[in-house]
Amino acid sequence: MNIIVVGLSHKTAPVEMRERVAFSPTAMERPLKALLDLPNISEGLIVSTCNRVEIYAAGKETEVSAARLKRFLADYHGIGLENLESHLYEFQGIDAIRHVFRVASSLDSMVVGEPQILGQIKTAYGYAAEFKTVGLILNRFLHKAFSVAKRVRTETGISSNAVSISFAAVELARKIFGTLERKRVLLIGAGEMCELAARHFVNNGVDSVLVTNRTYERAVKLAEEFQGRAVPFDDFPDHLHQADIILASTGAPNYTLQHRQVEDALRQRKNRPMFFIDIAVPRDIDPRVNDISNAYLYDVDDLQEVIQANLKERQKEARKAEGIIEQEIVQFHQWLSQLDVVPTIVSLRKKLEEVRRSEIEKTFSNLKNLGSKERKAIEAMTSAIINKVLHQPITVLKQARNENSGDNYVDALRTLFDLEPLQPPDEMPDKMPDDGGTEINGLSKPRHKG
């Protein structure tokens, strides 16, 4: 059994193609059930976001299964595979594990370190769990991916530096004021950028929000969203002194906030600092404001410089994260590789023991005069023969369990000896005999942690 990933992302497909293969988050049952109808696919889930669509599956015959998953994506959305295939990627085994760990840790995101992707994978896993399309392998795999992502965020600074204009503004404001508690923000404009910045400010402790806009109704609506207060556009200079942080983003062709108005506001504030963020193009705030004592003005270019510096820092932290992921890959792959090997060893020993026991009983029934001593000698001899016979195949299986050849040996043994179907790993005994009747070193019962 192996992990298989098939999908596309912002790195391989334009938005027009990503839109065509996207799955509706409110209608996941049908595609998930259809996924499990594919031959050799035993478990599956679908991650569908604006930047990626990926299928995570557990199955056998990975090359063939990957091709079936590609065909599934094309057929489900009514797209010719010849048009879709050039945008698709596939990963198997260790490469699939690495890819999902990197995606969950946001190392594969458009903005490295962004937190949204982890929540989106958790949502996808929730649907798959609800519709029962994940089992032991993907349950364990996804929970491991979540813990890896948490470890990356805990042990690195990959998400600690602002890489959006709105959050960079918050970061700068914190540096100026130390804390944003009991601070008031004035939004000049009520567009998307102002709304996003206001959300960041409120989430970081800002006490109250004033909103002004040429369309007063829009100002009222945005103010209500943050439990703030709307100010008529013509009157906002009279309220300027009340704000510690002023964020401007209008479509005005000329300066909305003049040098003189800021000087008046600072006098009323008795020169308590004011922080100005001008994210409008053309600019809303007279750049001479930055010459005023205790007035700190940043425009879009200033914020971009902060973002670029922070991106470099994130890249450094990303290299640390890659090291963490490589450690975790080894651990999970070892667990995965044992799932088929250990029960195969158990089944093989059980099969040969049944043969031995059957033949012993026939022999004893024909040799009724055998004494206890002779019977024990025959028992010991036949057990030794079984151990000798088992020694080489079990040694090879144990050596191959961490290699790509492991599945081939498992399949060959199960076919040659007509072994019973694989026992679910969480029903396996904690201790299993090896070729000499002792425990298999380093192997214990895989526990379902999903």
Residues 246 and 235: their CA atoms lie apart, in Å, by 15
User: What is the number of other CB atoms lying within 10 angstroms of the CB of residue 263?
Assistant: 13
Rounded alpha-carbon distances, angstroms, from residue 241 to 186, 190, 274:
10, 20, 9
Question: Beta-strand (E) ranges in 60-207?
Answer: 89-92, 184-188
Catalytic residue among 11, 14, 50, 449: 50
Residues 151, 328 contacting (CB under 8 angstroms): yes
Cβ-proximal residues to 320 (8 Å cutoff; 6+ apart), any chain = 155, 156, 158
* Token pair belonging to 399: 């050596």
Residues 336 and 351: their CA atoms lie apart, in Å, by 24
Residues 142 and 136: their CA atoms lie apart, in Å, by 10
| Alpha-carbon torsion (127, 131, 132, 133), positive or negative | negative
Residues 289, 256 contacting (CB under 8 angstroms): no
Residues 152 and 325: their CA atoms lie apart, in Å, by 8
CA-wise closest residue to 169 among 11, 303, 339, 8: 303
Residues 302, 165 contacting (CB under 8 angstroms): no
- Tell me, yes or no, if 194 is annotated catalytic: no
Catalytic residues: 50
